[in-house]
Chains A and B, each alone.
Chain A
Amino acid sequence: MTLEVVIFYFAAAVAVAGAVMMILQRNPVASVMYLVISLVAQAILYVQLQALFIGALLIIVYAGAILVLFLFVIMILNLRGEEFRNEKHRPGRAAKIIIPVVFFLEVVAIIKQLAAPPAAGRATEVAADFGSVEMVAGRLFREYLFPFELTSILLLVAIVGAVVMAKRDKGKKEEEA
């Protein structure tokens, strides 16, 4: 067993355990922290696949930006675990069970397909520049330029929407006062 295999099993175990612990927490702050642990372990797995760039992006975007935002909102609103115990909401409870089961079956199907011996025509080895900055940039700005630009417009609309909402709130408060 080489060092890489040991690191792989460790990171994979931490990623799964972090994700499970995230769901089991009542306190949302603890949930976010377990999610950070899980994401860091996933980044290690990307690094092991020689996709350093994707691993770094995962940490910058998720651990650095999105989860910090989560933490902020949770801490500012001071959410406690009790507020999430809304057992009366029946359709929500059904969805809680059905959606994970569907996803789980999907993941099992995918793993089964991947674990099967490679059929003709399916590449077994990744390209040498897999996950490098050049490859990701080439894909984003050449092949998938149109969807990429669409996404950026979507994000821009979201930002404008957020600004409008923030402004409206402020105006209301001033009227009340």
Chain B
Amino acid sequence: MEITGIFKYLYELLQSTGLPQVLVDIIALASAAVMIFGVLAVIALFLVWWERKVSAHIQQRFGPMRTGWHGWRQTIADAVKLLQKEDITPSTVDRPVFFWAPVIAFVAAFMVYVTIPFGDGLIVSDLNIGILFIIAITTFTIISLLMAGWGSNNKYALLGGMRSAAQVVSYEVPMVVSVLAVIVFAGSLSMVDIVQSQAKIYKWYFFRLPFGPIAFFTYIIAATAETNRTPFDLPEAEQELVAGFNVEYSGMKFAMFFLAEFVNMFTVSAIGATLFFGGWQGPLLPSWVWFLVKTFALVFVLMWFRWTYPRLRVDQLMEFSWKFLLPVSFANLILAGWMKYSGWFNW
């Protein structure tokens, strides 16, 4: 099934109405943004439900069962409830900072999808710095966490925000370095080029021994920490910090943080699928189905982590990043560079 053809047809239809080019561009861009938002909102709602089901089955429970088939309408009801709740702003908060923190988290989570290819040609804009753009945008997440922690004027929120920013900053380094190993081999920063360089299954970067698997494992560990999920969920440690940086948030603003969190989980999985598992490439089925299958498989791995491992202590967390992950990913980058230079896997 070819989806890009539909987009081209719609764009030409828009141009044929005789509107000025500026308006046509604005409408086209806005509708692309709305479309991405719609798709991701549905995916995030699905992930909330899926996470509850996966956790329940790992703990030998059923999870939500009452509303609809295996409780599929539960998250929709929860979302409607969240949006209807009163938007409370505590009187002691730093108002502008408190207001903008969830907005930045939300916008950053969605802006990343400008350069993520959902399928063959299904990409908003194939920037020649694709993966670097994603890394740049994710840094706003750190700022939004610090803003939420600081703006809430609450000690638990501040501690949670600081912890989570410290964690994201330290794990960003090994994550970027392990991504670099793939970039060195692909010879391009463009997401589309990276996918096209893994056209056959033996060309997937995951199967390029020995650097591929090492890069993938360092990436997925760092990505778990980036998304603040167990075993790296200290910023949200309920027993110590109530709920972390988002204690003071409720209603719509909380929903924005919540949605951004699940979208980020999907994002890191989508990047993993694109960089290591050939992105949309695959036989028979349409390209976007392959992309979704691979991404959801990685999301499942992240959920599996969460409901299997206990939480780390803060000193273990930092030592693991700086003393283990970082040296390993650097050594792996050198290895990848040497393999590329000496001409291994040059098919």
Distance in angstroms between the alpha carbons of A53 and B190 in the assembled complex: 12
A59 close to chain B: CB less than 8 A: yes
Q: How large is the interface on A (under 10, 10 to 19, 20 to 34, 35 or more residues)?
A: 20 to 34
Tell which of A53, A67, A68 touches B132, judged by Cβ atoms closer than 8 Å: A53
Distance in angstroms between the alpha carbons of A174 and B166 in the assembled complex: 25
> What chain B residues lie within 8 Å of A71 (beta carbons)?
143, 146, 150, 165
Identity of the chain A residue whose Cβ is nearest the Cβ of B131 in the assembled complex: A56
> What chain A residues lie within 8 Å of B165 (beta carbons)?
68, 71-72
Query: Which B residues between 124 and 152 are near A, CB-CB below 8 angstroms?
Result: 127-129, 132-133, 135-137, 139-140, 142-143, 146-147, 150
Q: How large is the interface on B (under 10, 10 to 19, 20 to 34, 35 or more residues)?
A: 20 to 34
Identity of the chain A residue whose Cβ is nearest the Cβ of B161 in the assembled complex: A75
Distance in angstroms between the alpha carbons of A71 and B142 in the assembled complex: 11
Distance in angstroms between the alpha carbons of A64 and B127 in the assembled complex: 20
Cβ B143 vs Cβ A75 within 8 A: no
Interface of B is mostly: helix
A3 close to chain B: CB less than 8 A: yes
Cβ B169 vs Cβ A29 within 8 A: no
Cβ B97 vs Cβ A33 within 8 A: yes
Cβ A68 vs Cβ B136 within 8 A: no
Nearest 6 CB-CB pairs, A to B?
Answer: A64-B139, A59-B136, A56-B136, A56-B132, A60-B136, A52-B129
Residue pairs across A and B with Cβ atoms less than 8 A apart, 17 shown, are: A3-B25, A3-B26, A30-B97, A52-B128, A52-B133, A53-B132, A56-B132, A60-B132, A63-B140, A64-B136, A64-B139, A64-B172, A67-B143, A68-B146, A68-B165, A72-B165, A75-B158
Given contacts A56-B133, A60-B135, A133-B189, 5 further A-B contacts (CB under 8 A): A52-B127, A52-B133, A59-B136, A59-B139, A71-B150
Interface residues of chain A, those whose CB is within 8 Å of chain B, are: 2-3, 29-30, 33, 36, 43, 52-53, 55-57, 59-60, 63-65, 67-68, 71-72, 75-76, 132-133
